[in-house]
Each structure stands twice: as structure tokens, then as C-alpha cells.
Chains A and B, each alone.
Chain A
Amino acid sequence: MKTNFSIILAALLLAVVAQAKLNIVATTPDLGAIAKEIGGDAITLTTLAKPTEDPHFVDAKPSFIVKLNRADVVIEGGAELEIGWLPALLDQSRNEKLAAGAPGHVNCAKGVPLMDVPATLDRSRGDIHAAGNPHYIIAPSNAKIVAQNIAAALAEVDAKNAETYRANLQKFTATLDAKITEWQQTLAPFKGASVVAYHDSWPYFARDFGLKIELYLEPKPGVPPTPSHLAEVIMKMKKEKAQVIIVDPYLNRRTAETVARDTGAVVLDVTQFPGGLKGTEGGYIQLEDYLVNALAKAFAGEK
């Protein structure tokens, strides 16, 4: 009888331990990848947006409500990145742990110096972001802040694994620091090079690596390219000797190809999300490796 009891107790404990893994929901795959680095085996991770998807236009699917309902922590990019879908999901999730301001609601933009904060809120300038450009995670310096925010939140919510999260943060930060040096060396010869983007989602990356990504195929954020605007871009590209056009998976590659034909530039597929392109599935560092190497190759004129 006594043995039976201890077996049951052990089984229960095991069940509790299995359950004890922190259930994390990340809105986008880049946040998910960093959360995985910090959480390691102590967490189970669900990512809502697909890596090939435009993070502003994710559907607020009811299946996401169930995922959020069961989550201990939700990790969002904030700065209005998910404003079109996450609030509706959280409203319906009935999960107090994820309430705004609760330790289980991690806004990774906290402490990130956001760029392009508009001085006036004027939508005639296109689809502007009131809080500043929300595509900040792709810059490694910001990834460090994101990792800190995540580690701090996980340590608070799951105090017994706090040491693990801190150690993982240190490990990730150290790897990232070493890599940042390497990446900066790789791109050093191309400092100041002009790169054309479809949408203004690369200013942080440009800043971190000393690139100039200031020409966009879109005339205004969210407004599709027009022939007159493209003609202007082509002229500027020739003037600035811009040789690379970067395009995210969810953007129109054909427009970029047209411009490339007229300028002799290279169209480079890029993504801000691990898994957005083949060879980026391995996580944040692999993604950044991919981007840096692909850009270096493109600058060097290899196709």
C-alpha cells in the first residue's frame, strides 16, 4: 500500500514537473527564436505569425485565442507591430496572466530606442507608426535588449528557473557579441553602401551595420509602388550606385525585379524572421548570419 502511494505520488510529481514547463506564446518567429534561446528546455513555445507573413496583417484566428488562454507568458514586439490583431485576441483570451502590465505580458520594445517616431500623427504620409518604426528586432543591438526583457520576465514569472534564464541570457548575449564583431567585420568593406528596400522596415539593421537603406520601392509606407516613384528611385539608385534591392517574402518581388533590370542591381531575398527563407530556420543568429553573408556577397557582385 505504501509503495503504491509513493508510486502515485511520484507519478503526480512527474505530471506536475511536465506541466511546470512555462507555456510561452510569441507573436512573431523572431521573438520566438530569442525566447527559445532564453527559455531553453524550461519552456514550451508557440509562435503565432508565420515567418513568411506580414507581421502587421496576421489574422486574429480563434485557434490563437485558445493558445493565449493557456499561456503563462505572451511576448510581443509592441510599438504597434501587432496592433491590428493582438488586442482582439487578448480580449477574448480570458487570461489574466497576460493582462497589460502583468509580468506575463512582455513588451519587448521596452528600453529599445525606437527610430522614426513621427513628430505629428498624420496619415497622409502613409501608414505611419505612432510609436516609431516597430521593425527593430532585426538589429542585433536590439536583439540584446529583447533578450534581456524576455529573461527578466521569465525570471519573474518562473522564479525557480531564474538562474537558468539568467545563464542562458549571458550565453546568448556573449555569442551575439562575438557574432556582432564578426558581422561588422564582414560588412565593414561596404560601409555606407546604399541598399534599396521595398518597405521601410530596415532602419535599425542599417544603423547597426553602417549601411544606407533609405530608398524604398513604396512611395509612402503601405502605399504600393507607382511608376513615377519607381522612376525616381531608379534615378537615385544610379546616382548613389545602389546595387542591391532587398525584398521580404511577403512583398512583391516582381516590382523589385523590374527596377533591378533597369539599374543592373541584384534582387536579394531577405527576411526578418527565422524560417522566412531556406537556411534561416536555425534561429536568430543563423538568420543574421544569412543576411550578413548574403548582403556581403551581393555587394561583392556575386549573383
Chain B
Amino acid sequence: MSGTAQAKETNEVEQLKQQLRQMQEGFEKVQREQSAQINALTQKLEAFTRVQSAAGENQKLAAQLEAEMASSLSNAPAIPEKKPWSPADTLTVARAGSAYMNMSFDAMMVAGGSTMSDPSAQLQLGDHDPIKNGFSLRNAEIALDGAVDPYFKGFANIVLKLDKNNQTDIELEEAYAQSTSLPANLQVKAGQFFAAFGRSNAQHPHQWAFVDAPIIMTRAFGPDGLRNIGAQGSWLLPLPLFTELTLGVFDGQGSTMFGFRNPGDPDALGVDRFHGRQTLNIGLRGPQDLVWTPRIASSFDLTEQQTVVLGASAAFGPNDTGADTRTQIYGVDLYWKWKAADAHEGFPYVSWQTEALYEILEAGADPTASTPLPAETLRDWGCYSQVLWGFKPRWVAGLRGEYADGNTGTFDANDVFRGERERVSPVLTFYPSEFSKIRLQYNYDHGALFGNAHSIWLQLEFLLGAHGAHKF
């Protein structure tokens, strides 16, 4: 009996022990699992609180900054709340400072007449001059300018004008990019643009002080001014005195390169001629056929109220009257301005501008012309000088005197761009505002080809939109 009982007891003990082991193992397993879970949670929590405290610090900093900013602006009045937009509000298409570019439209109309029945034939040779007696509209320009990116500024001038039949002509007068961030005081521009030659060549008609272009400019550079596709580099010298060196290089082809590879105008038979010679259309044979335009300009202030700008320019290149004929043009320019120390809207002021040009054009021989023309060198010179007096706000009186002449050429009797010529032009301009002007000009003209002529022109200009600021 005791043996069995003992064995039974042993069995129970074993069973109990086994149960205990199982329980222990189960407990340990649960414990392991739980501690693993706890560890994982702790890690998660730690990560989470790290993020949270960072966010908290950010918030604290922002609040602190806000408080600082608020206290620094505490004396400034609050900005009024913005009114919600309503359909009745005017839509602003472009607004200075908030638009990507300046955009303007500028139109100039002229009414008047001259003692010559066709003033454009001999008197008014500029492309933006009044073209006929009665009404002319020779310059309506769309001007665009603005920053392209951090490296370039862009400019475009698209000109519309009415021809003698009041049909619209359009021209891409200028379209170029200009660098803004070159080192060493350099600046480059490229595209279609007016050459930096003298003062008035690169100015657009609405900057002119007179209704028409100076005679010598139309002779040396033709009706359109010296303008072509090309590139230009300029360097501001590191001197206390403003001194700028400019070098332009142009394709040189076309009527806007008047004295260079210009096909000229067709005669009655449709043959293109320039100074009477049939043009050869030599094309661009190499770099020597490009047109080069160097310029140096310097400026200083004589007194606080007086500024002077002096310049010297040149243009070199081949012309189309011969296979190996070249043109050289030289010019000097002077601008002086006095403005009162207490000027109101820029008045009163007095300015004086003078340019003198000298052109040497090797003209090729043309034995087939109706009057056979020999090879000869045409030398032309001329100058204009103009004084403007802004005598009270919005009013400017001006006087321009001009003279042009040249050596004797075989074709002179028929050449409107040559021979002795003088012109005197008093002008009075009234600016109702910065954006409009009314101008009255009288021209006394004398030319070897036509004798005396008198003209009177009344001009109205208006400008819409935002127009970029002008150079001095």
C-alpha cells in the first residue's frame, strides 16, 4: 500500500512540477513578449517625443519672432485688411513693379505742311519725319522691356507707321538682350539694335526734341539710323570719371546700314542703286565685311547743376557700290545740361547738344549708269547744334541749326543725300503731362538742289502704359 501511495504521490509531484514549469515558461514567454512590446513602444515614444519637442521649439521660436516683429512694428499702423474681390472691381492687367515687364504704346502724329508738294522727297529724309503735307503718323511704337532672368534684360521696339497711302508698315526696330551680371565692368548686348554712335542715333523719336531727325544723321545713316543685327560689348573704365568704351559689330547688310552693304533704292527700271551706282550685293565674304562701331564717351559734372557728356564714335565697313569699296564715318558729340538746384518737375533747365559727322565713302565705278559714274571718294560732313530751354514746368523752347555739305561728286545733281544744305528750326513743346506732348516746329530750309523751303509741323504724342526710364 505504501509503495503505491508513494508512487502516486511521486506522480502528482511530477505532474505539479511539470505544470509549474509550463506556467513558468508561459510566464517567461509573456514577459519576453511584453518586454519586447514595451521596448518597441518606448522606442516609438522616444522617437515621437523627439519630433514633438523639436516642433515645440519651432513653435516657440516662431512665436518669439512674431512677438519681436510685432514689437518692432508696434508704432506702425496696422495694414488695412484687403477687401475681397468683387466682379465690379477693375481688373489690373499690368502694374508697374508687379509686372514682369514694362509695356508701353507710344504714338506720334504730325499735321502740317511745307512749301514743297512732297516734303519727303528732299526735305524730310528721316523715316520718322512727317512724310506728306497734311497728316502723317510715322511712329507708333510698342516698347517692351524687363528682366529676362538674373543674367539678361530684354528690350523690344516694334514700330508701326503709315505710308503715303496710309497703309500700315511694321518693323522690328529693336529686339535685343543685354547682360546684367558680367564681371569686370563689362556689359554685352546682342540682337537688333541702334549702334552706339553719338547721341541722337540711339534715341527713339519720342525722346527727340524736334519733330524730325537731323540732316547729317539722315545723310550718314540713312532714314532709319544706324541699326542692324549684331553684338556690342561695353566697358565702364575703373576711373572716378565716367568713361565708357563701346565696340559694336554688325552684320552690315540692309538699308538700316545705309553707308555699308545697302542695296539702295530701285530706279525706274528696277535696278537697285546707291549714290547712282548699281549695287553689287557683295554679301558677307568674311569678317572684314562686318561693320565695326567703336565709341568712347566720358561725362563729368561741372558743378552740382551742370553736367557734360563728351563722345567720339566711328563706323567702318564695306559698301555695295564696288567689289572692294569701303566706308568710314567719324563723329564727335557734346551734351551739356544745366538744371536749377530747386527744379520743379525737372524745370527750369537749359541743354545744349551738338554732333558733327564726317563720312568717307569709296564709291565704285558704274559705266552702265545713264550718266556713267567713275570710281570716286565721296566726302560728306555736317553738324547740328540745338539748345533747349525748359523755361517753366511743362514748357520747352528750342532752336536747332544745321549744316551739311560734301565734296563734289559726279551724281550730285540727282542725289538728295548730298550737296550743301542748311536748316534752322525753332520749336516750342508743351507737355500736358509726362505722358503727352504737343509740339510746334518751323523749319527754314535751304538746299543746293531745291533752293528755299518753309515748313510748319504740329505734333501730338501720347504714351500709354509703363515705359522704361531713359539714359541721361
Chain B, residues 139-157, CB within 8 Å of chain A (1/0): the string is 0000000010010010000
A105 in the interface (beta carbon within 8 A): no
Does A63 lie within 8 Å of B236, measured CB to CB?
no
Does A141 lie within 8 Å of B77, measured CB to CB?
yes
Chain A minimum-CB-distance residue to B472 = A60
B117 in the interface (beta carbon within 8 A): no
Chain A residues lying within 8 Å of B180, measured Cβ to Cβ, are 91, 96, 99
B241 in the interface (beta carbon within 8 A): yes
B78 in the interface (beta carbon within 8 A): yes
B468 in the interface (beta carbon within 8 A): yes
Chain A residues lying within 8 Å of B394, measured Cβ to Cβ, are 224
Chain B minimum-CB-distance residue to A126 = B433
Does A63 lie within 8 Å of B471, measured CB to CB?
no
Contact (A222, B242) CB under 8 Å given A57-B345, A113-B79, A131-B97: no
A300 in the interface (beta carbon within 8 A): no
Chain B minimum-CB-distance residue to A66 = B242
Does B304 lie within 8 Å of A50, measured CB to CB?
yes
Does B72 lie within 8 Å of A96, measured CB to CB?
no
A223 in the interface (beta carbon within 8 A): yes
* Distance, CA A88 to CA B155, complexed state (A): 13
Chain B minimum-CB-distance residue to A276 = B342
Does A57 lie within 8 Å of B236, measured CB to CB?
no
Chain B residues lying within 8 Å of A52, measured Cβ to Cβ, are 341-342
* Distance, CA A249 to CA B344, complexed state (A): 9
Chain A residues lying within 8 Å of B307, measured Cβ to Cβ, are 59, 61-63
Does A53 lie within 8 Å of B342, measured CB to CB?
yes
Does B241 lie within 8 Å of A66, measured CB to CB?
yes
Contact (A144, B76) CB under 8 Å given A59-B472, A120-B92: yes
Chain B residues lying within 8 Å of A54, measured Cβ to Cβ, are 343-346
Chain B, residues 154-187, CB within 8 Å of chain A (1/0): the string is 0000000000000000000000001011100111
CB within 8 Å of B: which A24-68 residues: 50, 52-54, 56-57, 59-63, 65-66
* Distance, CA A121 to CA B446, complexed state (A): 48
Does A120 lie within 8 Å of B469, measured CB to CB?
no
Does B97 lie within 8 Å of A130, measured CB to CB?
yes
Chain A residues lying within 8 Å of B304, measured Cβ to Cβ, are 50
Contact of B153 among A91, A93, A112 (CB under 8 A): A91
Does A249 lie within 8 Å of B342, measured CB to CB?
yes
Does B240 lie within 8 Å of A180, measured CB to CB?
no
Chain A minimum-CB-distance residue to B83 = A119
Does B75 lie within 8 Å of A180, measured CB to CB?
yes
CB within 8 Å of A: which B245-304 residues: 297, 299-301, 304
A251 in the interface (beta carbon within 8 A): yes
Report how many residues on chain A are interfacial, defined by Cβ distance under 8 Å. 54
A164 in the interface (beta carbon within 8 A): no
A92 in the interface (beta carbon within 8 A): yes
Chain B, residues 404-417, CB within 8 Å of chain A (1/0): the string is 00000000000000
Does B471 lie within 8 Å of A60, measured CB to CB?
yes
Chain B minimum-CB-distance residue to A60 = B472
Does A57 lie within 8 Å of B343, measured CB to CB?
yes
A145 in the interface (beta carbon within 8 A): yes
Chain B, residues 332-352, CB within 8 Å of chain A (1/0): the string is 000001010111111000000
Contact of A127 among B73, B98, B178, B434 (CB under 8 A): B434
Contact (A83, B186) CB under 8 Å given A62-B307, A180-B75: no
A235 in the interface (beta carbon within 8 A): no
* Distance, CA A45 to CA B470, complexed state (A): 25
Does A119 lie within 8 Å of B90, measured CB to CB?
yes
Chain B residues lying within 8 Å of A99, measured Cβ to Cβ, are 150, 180-181
Nearest Cβ distance between residue A118 and chain B, in whole angstroms?
10
Contact of B299 among A62, A112, A148 (CB under 8 A): A62
Contact of B75 among A56, A91, A141, A223 (CB under 8 A): A141
Does B236 lie within 8 Å of A65, measured CB to CB?
yes
B309 in the interface (beta carbon within 8 A): yes
B450 in the interface (beta carbon within 8 A): no
A207 in the interface (beta carbon within 8 A): yes
* Distance, CA A63 to CA B72, complexed state (A): 38
The winner among B147, B299, B342 for most chain A CB atoms within 10 A is: B342
Nearest Cβ distance between residue B349 and chain A, in whole angstroms?
9
Does A207 lie within 8 Å of B92, measured CB to CB?
no
Does A222 lie within 8 Å of B73, measured CB to CB?
no
B13 in the interface (beta carbon within 8 A): no
Nearest Cβ distance between residue A147 and chain B, in whole angstroms?
10
Does B73 lie within 8 Å of A111, measured CB to CB?
yes
* Distance, CA A65 to CA B343, complexed state (A): 21
The winner among B186, B240, B242 for most chain A CB atoms within 10 A is: B242
Chain A residues lying within 8 Å of B374, measured Cβ to Cβ, are none
* Distance, CA A111 to CA B147, complexed state (A): 24
Contact (A80, B96) CB under 8 Å given A59-B339, A60-B471: yes
* Distance, CA A10 to CA B178, complexed state (A): 43
Does A144 lie within 8 Å of B344, measured CB to CB?
no
A94 in the interface (beta carbon within 8 A): yes
B401 in the interface (beta carbon within 8 A): no
Contact (A120, B90) CB under 8 Å given A65-B236, A131-B97, A222-B345: yes
Chain B, residues 217-247, CB within 8 Å of chain A (1/0): the string is 0000000000000000000100111101000
Contact of A69 among B78, B236, B301 (CB under 8 A): B236
Does A250 lie within 8 Å of B299, measured CB to CB?
no
Chain B residues lying within 8 Å of A207, measured Cβ to Cβ, are 77
Chain B residues lying within 8 Å of A84, measured Cβ to Cβ, are 434, 469
Does A94 lie within 8 Å of B187, measured CB to CB?
yes
* Distance, CA A113 to CA B73, complexed state (A): 11
Chain B, residues 43-81, CB within 8 Å of chain A (1/0): the string is 000000000000000000000000000001101111110
Nearest Cβ distance between residue B348 and chain A, in whole angstroms?
11
Q: A53-B342, A61-B299 are in contact. List 11 more A-B contacts (CB 8 A).
A: A59-B339, A59-B472, A62-B307, A63-B301, A83-B469, A99-B181, A111-B73, A127-B433, A130-B96, A131-B96, A223-B433
Q: Write the residues of chain A forming the contact surface with B, with a CB cutoff of 8 angstroms.
A: 50, 52-54, 56-57, 59-63, 65-66, 69, 80, 83-88, 91-94, 96, 99-100, 111-113, 119-121, 123, 126-127, 130-131, 141-142, 144-145, 148, 177, 180, 207, 222-224, 249-252
Top 8 A-B pairs ranked by shortest CB distance? A62-B299, A57-B346, A62-B242, A88-B469, A120-B90, A52-B342, A113-B79, A87-B469
Q: 8 A-B residue contacts at CB 8 Å? A: A62-B297, A63-B307, A87-B469, A93-B236, A113-B77, A224-B394, A249-B342, A250-B343
Q: Write the residues of chain B forming the contact surface with A, with a CB cutoff of 8 angstroms.
A: 72-73, 75-80, 89-90, 92, 95-98, 147, 150, 153, 178, 180-182, 185-187, 236, 239-242, 244, 297, 299-301, 304, 307, 309, 337, 339, 341-346, 393-394, 433-435, 468-472
